[in-house]
């Protein structure tokens, strides 16, 4: 894994849907991203932090693009590369901003790959390594990583299953990057459960309007936007039965017809679907087409809940802490023994997503020194109250985490033997400690 400092982006976007989508994608691509909803917020923070690129909507609720750019230009020297997102009717304003010193602009609607390519050129780098396909240190996640490598050269349809928040989109994106290592191909994600039936149909297949309806007569759907890359369809089980037949044809024939149109548009892409539902049971109940199920389920990858791979909890927590430290240019905060104990015992019903939110909350609200469990949770579950923990409890947490960290540094055949040597104990002693501490062996390879 690369230890290079990630390029940092400043995103200024008031639209919650667009902003969240861009911020999430920037993070997936390996950038650190600070997202501001108003020009005023950005003006306060921009001079305090180093940014490699600023990406701003030209239309904000409190300031015009020109007013924002003028204010930032006065406060910052030198000014980082500054890009504007603009609509067709605002190109004149974008051109004026270029004359004033802005670097570039991109016009809505745009493909995110086009925006990413502009950002890469401005940061003077190709696609960043980011976090790669490293998903966890537990045996099951290591096996998933190995499977991704095998699937990287193929275009087979993949179905990812797992509870909400386990990281299905991250796995899908890691699979995408295995196949398209240079980051030049689109990765388009759509949550099928977030739209009404008619809106979902347009999102999937696009829409055409009669010429008389105006200039904006054609809108591409996600199948076309993902052409040449990967399409991730989350919550595929939420696709209404009336749309499942049309979706099947698009997947089977790699061809779409826009809503209101007649032209058959060919598409070349890998399709990755995800669900937290049991599709096989839905097929049995007549709620999901069996032929569609077989087409999307060529290869199935299951992501277990976090409570079943506890080795990953502290590994993920440390990554999230490091991420916050990089974004805020501060030292990485540490977790107390009590916090680690609580985190390992807590079932994490929201999985990785909940863990990430808890770490963010603790980072922002925690007092000086090691972070305590009270900072992780708004209300500490009674069953996890560790106020009366003994010294042995604390030592057990430290011992378990230390062994896990040492094991994580040794990969391949003989890792138990090499880890034992690092720890200064015998191989048998290490096996016994792992068994006592509930650390899965995962084989010695």
pLDDT tens string 160-192: 999 989 999 999 999 998 888 777 789 999 999
- Provide mean pLDDT across the span 1-28: 78
Label residue 216 by pLDDT band (50, 70, 90): low
Dihedral angle computed from the Cα positions of residues 397, 401, 403 and 409, in that order, rounded to the nearest 10 degrees: 180
pLDDT at 326 over 80: no
Query: In this predicted structure, what is the pLDDT of residue 131?
Result: 39
Across 303-419, the runs of DSSP E, i.e. the strands, are none
Query: In this predicted structure, what is the pLDDT of residue 445?
Result: 42
How far is residue 392's CA from residue 171's CA, in Å, rounded to a whole number? 38
Please say whether the dihedral angle defined by the alpha carbons of residues 43, 44, 50 and 52, taken in this order, is positive or negative: negative
The answer to whether residues 255 and 227 touch, using CB atoms and an 8 Å cutoff, is: no
Mean pLDDT, all residues of the chain: 83
Kindly report the CATH number that applies to the domain delimited by 8-123.
3.40.50.2300
- How long is the chain? 445
Domain boundaries, the chain: 8-123, 139-304, 308-437
pLDDT at 429 over 60: yes
Kindly report the CATH number that applies to the domain delimited by 139-304.
3.40.50.300
Domain 308-437 belongs to what topology? Helicase, Ruva Protein; domain 3 (1.10.8)
| Residues forming beta bridges with residue 208, ordered by sequence position | 218
Label residue 377 by pLDDT band (50, 70, 90): confident
More confident residue, 2 or 8: 8
Of 161-175, 180-194, 281-295, 398-412, the range with the lowest mean pLDDT is 398-412
The answer to whether residues 255 and 265 touch, using CB atoms and an 8 Å cutoff, is: yes
Query: In this predicted structure, what is the pLDDT of residue 394?
Result: 55
Query: In this predicted structure, what is the pLDDT of residue 204?
Result: 95
Dihedral angle computed from the Cα positions of residues 352, 354, 355 and 357, in that order, rounded to the nearest 10 degrees: 120
Element (H, E) at 32: strand 32-36
Label residue 103 by pLDDT band (50, 70, 90): confident
User: Tokens at residue 439, please?
Assistant: 């650390």
Domains 8-123 and 139-304 share a fold: yes
> In percent, how much of the chain has pLDDT > 70?
87
Of 31-40, 173-182, 267-276, the range with the lowest mean pLDDT is 173-182
Query: In this predicted structure, what is the pLDDT of residue 212?
Result: 53
- Provide mean pLDDT across the span 360-371: 80
How far is residue 69's CA from residue 57's CA, in Å, rounded to a whole number? 11
- Provide mean pLDDT across the span 261-277: 94
In angstroms, the Cα distances linking 236 to 105, 245, 260, 356 are 35, 13, 24, 25
386-399 pLDDT, tens per residue?
555 555 655 666 67
> In percent, how much of the chain has pLDDT > 90?
32
pLDDT at 126 over 50: no
More confident residue, 379 or 315: 315
User: Tokens at residue 220, please?
Assistant: 């591409």
Among 5-9, 91-95, 119-123, 320-324, the range of highest mean pLDDT: 320-324
Q: What is the DSSP string of 112-132?
A: HHHHHHHHHHHHT-SS--TTT
How far is residue 426's CA from residue 439's CA, in Å, rounded to a whole number? 17
pLDDT at 424 over 60: yes
Query: In this predicted structure, what is the pLDDT of residue 3?
Result: 36
The answer to whether residues 184 and 117 touch, using CB atoms and an 8 Å cutoff, is: yes
In angstroms, the Cα distances linking 108 to 67, 89, 126, 148, 186 are 21, 10, 24, 34, 17
How far is residue 323's CA from residue 346's CA, in Å, rounded to a whole number? 22
């Amino acid at each position: 894994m690369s230890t290079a400092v990630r390029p940092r982006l400043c995103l200024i976007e008031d639209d919650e849907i667009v902003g969240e989508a861009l911020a999430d994608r920037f993070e997936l691509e390996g950038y650190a991203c600070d997202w501001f909803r108003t020009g005023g917020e950005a003006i306060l923070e921009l001079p305090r932090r180093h940014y490699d690129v600023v990406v701003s909507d030209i239309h904000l609720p409190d300031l015009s693009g020109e007013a924002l750019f003028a204010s930032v230009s006065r406060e910052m020297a030198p000014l980082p590369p500054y890009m504007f997102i603009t609509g067709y009717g605002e190109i004149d304003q974008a051109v004026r901003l270029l004359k004033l010193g802005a670097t570039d602009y991109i016009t809505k609607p745009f493909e995110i790959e086009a925006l990413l390519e502009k950002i890469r050129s401005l940061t003077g780098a190709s696609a960043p390594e980011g976090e790669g396909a490293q998903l966890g240190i537990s045996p099951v996640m290591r096996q998933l990583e190995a499977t991704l490598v095998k699937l990287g050269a193929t275009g087979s349809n993949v179905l990812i299953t797992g509870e909400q928040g386990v990281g299905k989109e991250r796995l899908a994106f890691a699979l995408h990057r295995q196949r398209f290592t240079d980051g030049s191909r689109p990765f388009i994600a759509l949550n099928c459960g977030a739209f009404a039936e008619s809106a979902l149909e347009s999102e999937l297949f696009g829409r055409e309007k009669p010429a008389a309806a105006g200039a904006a007569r054609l809108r591409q759907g996600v199948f076309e936007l993902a052409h040449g890359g990967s399409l991730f369809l989350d919550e595929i089980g939420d696709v209404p039965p009336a749309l499942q037949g049309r979706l099947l044809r698009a997947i089977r024939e790699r061809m779409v017809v826009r809503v209101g149109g007649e032209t058959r548009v060919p598409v070349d892409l890998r399709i990755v679907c995800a669900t937290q539902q049991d599709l096989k049971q839905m097929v049995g109940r007549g709620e999901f087409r069996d032929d569609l199920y077989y087409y999307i389920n060529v290869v199935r990858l299951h992501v277990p809940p976090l409570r079943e791979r506890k080795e990953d909890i502290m590994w993920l927590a440390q990554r999230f802490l490091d991420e916050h430290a990089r974004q805020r240019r501060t030292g990485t905060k540490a977790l107390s023994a009590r916090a680690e104990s609580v985190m390992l015992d807590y079932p994490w019903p929201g999985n990785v997503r909940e863990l990430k939110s808890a770490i963010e909350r603790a980072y922002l609200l925690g007092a000086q020194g090691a972070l305590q469990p009270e900072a992780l949770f708004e209300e500490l579950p009674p069953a996890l109250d560790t106020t009366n923990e003994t010294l042995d409890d604390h030592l057990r947490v430290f011992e378990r985490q230390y062994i896990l960290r040492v094991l994580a540094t040794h990969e391949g055949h003989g890792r138990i033997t090499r880890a034992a040597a690092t720890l200064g104990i015998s191989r048998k002693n290490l096996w016994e400690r792992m068994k006592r501490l509930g650390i899965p062996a995962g084989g010695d390879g």
